[in-house]
Structure 1
Amino acid sequence: MKIYSKSKLNRVKRGHNRATYDVEKINSILDAGFIGYLGYVYEGKSITLPMAYGRKDNKIYLHGSQANRMLLALLDAKEMSMTVMHLDALVLARSGLHHSVNYRCATLFGSIRKLEDPREKELALFCFMEHMMKGRWDEIRSMHQEELDRTLVIEMTIETASAKIRDVGAEDEPEDYNLDVWAGLVPLKQIAEYPIPDEGLPQKMEIPKHVLDYYWENKQ
């Protein structure tokens, strides 16, 4: 089992019994998501924004316009942190204090660089697209060179990370378990609904197999 070493940067302090540094488990959290939350500093102000990403091995890929304020700030800092979180259930306890949620959460730390080589940029964007939906890249038109030139692509190397997972029921005070109060879980999940074609020609076309595959895999 490969694990990230613990340090002051990535060590989980509160609820450390729910922490994991296992690389495979952390990657499974990243692969189950598509949106990460990134923090950066702009003109002395701390800002956090969501952003779509792609992952391959220990690399995270982000892209935006060449004038993207967040990506440029991260490049100036030469490092970044990103958090991905999945909400799995509401935990309804017998007292307000012990209400909670079940979740899977991974936080990454690493160095970043700007991809300049056109082939590297294209491979990074392929990774991004495949992370969104496998098979999609081969079904769309090739990028124009001017589109590639206008796109800023960032590669993060994950140097360390940690995850925190809660997947249990209510944890009430011992004396509360006999109270006449309902307690339990309300499971939550994100699902795909049936694909809706865009206006024009797609309305007359069959839905591609890779799109239907994604729907069937994620509809419930």
Structure 2
Amino acid sequence: MSETCFTPTPRSNIKRLPQRGEYDRATIYQILDEGLICYVSFVVDNQPYVIPTAYGRIEDTLYIHGSPASRMLRTLQKGVEVCVNVTLLDGLVLARSAFHHSMNYRSVVVFGTVITVQDPQEKLAALYAFTEHIIPGRWAEVRSPSPQEIAGTLVLSLPLVEASAKIRTGAPNDDEADYQLPVWAGEIPLQLVASTPIADSRLRSEIELPAYVQNYTSKNRV
């Protein structure tokens, strides 16, 4: 594997349907950049937890953040191994048999141990990444975090060292004999679509809707 790809490990290697596995960094980062929510999995005292949270990426590092009172963040600070997942659902796949129904998806799994971010400048860069990950162009218009807000935010980084993607695309894969059945088969594409923005009730009347809000789509974020 070259530096443009992640090296599969016993944990990240795709074993079930390995032909769907991807280790290319560009592919994995594109999926991470298009997603909005990641699921952080960890075990404490033999009790597993899965917590959804927002995230941001800067080059080869994934960042999560929250209140210092967060049980998840306080636990992860202790060096607990984590597994992070981001999944994008692209469509429903309807086969001629119930057995072969499926979904088209792009999914990334990351393994590792988080690091507490102490440097205020790195924390500020991470907060910028969180904001711009959700809606590009927003950071330049809003009030920047105050030193007190930065100090009161816990930011954790996860180096992107051990990761893989699994992707399914295309039509259903039916048994050959089933292709003659009089049953509709195919794909129902799905995508995240933004509805009409709703202005805050206390918004000043002269403030216009920004173009990045009016034209927001999941695709124009990446």
Q: Is this a same-fold pair by TM over 0.5?
A: yes
Residue in 1 that maps onto 2:22 = 20
Residue segments in structure 1 that go unaligned for 5+ positions in a row: none
Residue 144 of structure 1: CA displacement?
Answer: 2.1
Paired residue type of 1:17: Q
Contact 2:42 2:81 in 1 (8 A): no
Q: Secondary structure at the match of 1:138?
A: coil
Contact 2:42 2:80 in 1 (8 A): no
TM-score w.r.t. length of structure 2: 0.92
Give, in whole Å, the separation in 2 of the partners of 1:45 and 1:72. 16
Residue 205 of structure 1: CA displacement?
Answer: 1.7
Which among 125, 129, 137 is matched to residue 139 of structure 2? 137
Residue in 1 that maps onto 2:59 = 57
Say which structure is richer in helix.
1
Residue in 2 that maps onto 1:66 = 68
Contact 1:41 1:73 in 2 (8 A): no
Residue 79 of structure 1: CA displacement?
Answer: 3.8
Paired residue type of 2:136: K
Q: Does the C-alpha gap of structure 1 residues 46 and 215 become closer, same or farther in structure 2, counting only changes over 3 Å? A: closer
Paired residue type of 2:70: N
1:50-78 deviation digits (Å, cap 9, x = unpaired): 11100111111111001111112112125
Q: Secondary structure at the match of 2:96?
A: coil
Residue 149 of structure 1: CA displacement?
Answer: 1.6
Which among 4, 7, 12 is matched to residue 6 of structure 2? 4
Q: Does the C-alpha gap of structure 1 residues 36 and 215 become closer, same or farther in structure 2, counting only changes over 3 Å? A: closer
Give, in whole Å, the separation in 2 of the partners of 1:202 and 1:44. 52
Q: Secondary structure at the match of 1:77?
A: coil
Paired residue type of 2:155: V
Residue segments in structure 2 that go unaligned for 5+ positions in a row: none
Contact 2:40 2:83 in 1 (8 A): yes
Q: Secondary structure at the match of 1:169?
A: coil
Higher alpha-carbon deviation: 37-46 or 62-71? 37-46
Contact 1:82 1:109 in 2 (8 A): yes
Give, in whole Å, the separation in 1 of the partners of 2:128 and 2:69. 22
Residue in 1 that maps onto 2:196 = 194
Residue in 2 that maps onto 1:154 = 156
Residue in 2 that maps onto 1:81 = 83
RMSD: 1.7
How many residue pairs get aligned? The number is: 218
Give, in whole Å, the separation in 2 of the partners of 1:101 and 1:200. 42
Q: Secondary structure at the match of 2:216?
A: helix
Give, in whole Å, the separation in 2 of the partners of 1:189 and 1:207. 24
Give, in whole Å, the separation in 2 of the partners of 1:80 and 1:96. 35
Which among 106, 112, 120 is matched to residue 108 of structure 2? 106
Q: Does the C-alpha gap of structure 1 residues 160 and 71 become closer, same or farther in structure 2, counting only changes over 3 Å? A: same
Paired residue type of 2:114: I
Identity of aligned residues (%): 41
1:142-196 deviation digits (Å, cap 9, x = unpaired): 2122211211001110111111100011111110101111111111110112211
Residue 216 of structure 1: CA displacement?
Answer: 9.8
1:4-33 deviation digits (Å, cap 9, x = unpaired): 111201001001111111111011110111
